[in-house]
Homo-oligomer: A and B are copies of this chain.
Amino acid sequence: MPIDKTVPTFEEAVADIPDGATVFIGGFGGAGGMPHRLMLALRDLGSKSLTIAGNTAGIAVPTGFGWPAGEEPIDHAILVENGQIAKVIASFPVSGSVSRKNAFELAFERGEIELEVVPQGTLVERMRAAGAGIPAFYTPTGAGTDLAAGKETREFDGIECVLETALRADFALIRGAVADRLGNITYSGTSRSFNVAMAAAAEITISEVDEIVEPGEIDPERVDTPAIYVDRVVARGAQGKGSR
């Protein structure tokens, strides 16, 4: 049978995400590269006690970060507000503005959600390590700071480095521009972001894309996430490229 990783609906694409799962949510923070429809489907599915990991935990409404003017973001907040999140792993978990808190920060203040803050470069490198079979690596980032508290350190060439471990997930929800039925994905511009590393570091990788095409329609030089890393692709259909 020709390999076909297409799933017809967002609902089916996320149907097996159980309570307690660890889920990567792709993108950088703005609308580009963020799996909006998959998040909505996960909200509707209602799985509880999730750990979510990604660059942000949602942005404040409306701070405008990477969103078209006047549009209210669809992001992590819909999961937070639905009481589905037990823990967040992120580099940029709260709003850039002290006075405009995001849903995560409000829940964090109420003691409802656990938080692990990780430097952005260490966060993506930990995901990349998981995908590449590297259980742990050393980095000077974070040495001597609160974010290295309790972590093993070691000097290399006189520079103190922190031992960081691979970060895996049960599911990755990512977003690309175009996928083929084999699961090859290409992105547009800055929307690669965390999606590429996440795709390789999850047990099951599910990609929302603007469009699904036949194998051969994506230039093999333009495949950023090869099919080997992708389990399911689902098309936004009429929504196409967009922020909703």
- Chain A residues within CB distance 8 Å of chain B: 125, 129, 132-141, 156-157, 159, 161, 165, 186, 188-189, 220-222
Q: How many copies does the complex hold?
A: 2
Q: Find the B residue at minimum CB distance from A139.
A: B134
Max count, chain B CB within 10 A of own CB: residue among A129, A133, A137, A140: A137
CB proximity of A142 to chain B, nearest CB, Å: 12
Which of B132, B135, B139, B221 is within 8 Å of A156, CB to CB? Answer: B135
CB proximity of A189 to chain B, nearest CB, Å: 8
Give the CA-CA distance A156 to B140 in the complex, in Å.
Answer: 21
Known: A221-B188, A221-B222, A222-B221. A138 touches B135 (CB 8 A): yes
CB proximity of A10 to chain B, nearest CB, Å: 26
Instruction: Assess the B135–A125 pair: CB atoms within 8 A.
Output: no
Please indicate the chain B residues that have their CB under 8 angstroms from the CB of A165 in the complex: 156
Known: A188-B221, A222-B221, A222-B222. A132 touches B138 (CB 8 A): no
Please indicate the chain B residues that have their CB under 8 angstroms from the CB of A161 in the complex: 135-136
Please indicate the chain B residues that have their CB under 8 angstroms from the CB of A132 in the complex: 125
Q: Could you show 8 A-B contacts with beta carbons less than 8 Å apart?
A: A125-B132, A125-B134, A134-B137, A135-B138, A135-B161, A136-B161, A137-B138, A221-B222
Please indicate the chain B residues that have their CB under 8 angstroms from the CB of A221 in the complex: 186, 188-189, 222
Q: Find the B residue at minimum CB distance from A159.
A: B135
Q: Find the B residue at minimum CB distance from A187.
A: B221
Give the CA-CA distance A125 to B157 in the complex, in Å.
Answer: 19
Please indicate the chain B residues that have their CB under 8 angstroms from the CB of A156 in the complex: 135-136, 165
Give the CA-CA distance A156 to B135 in the complex, in Å.
Answer: 7
Give the CA-CA distance A132 to B134 in the complex, in Å.
Answer: 14
Instruction: Assess the B137–A137 pair: CB atoms within 8 A.
Output: yes
Give the CA-CA distance A133 to B140 in the complex, in Å.
Answer: 8
CB proximity of A58 to chain B, nearest CB, Å: 28
Please indicate the chain B residues that have their CB under 8 angstroms from the CB of A222 in the complex: 221-222
Please indicate the chain B residues that have their CB under 8 angstroms from the CB of A129 in the complex: 137
CB proximity of A159 to chain B, nearest CB, Å: 8
Q: Other than the known A135-B161, A137-B138, what 13 A-B pairs have Cβ atoms closer than 8 Å?
A: A125-B132, A129-B137, A133-B139, A133-B140, A133-B141, A134-B138, A134-B139, A135-B138, A135-B140, A135-B159, A136-B137, A136-B138, A189-B221
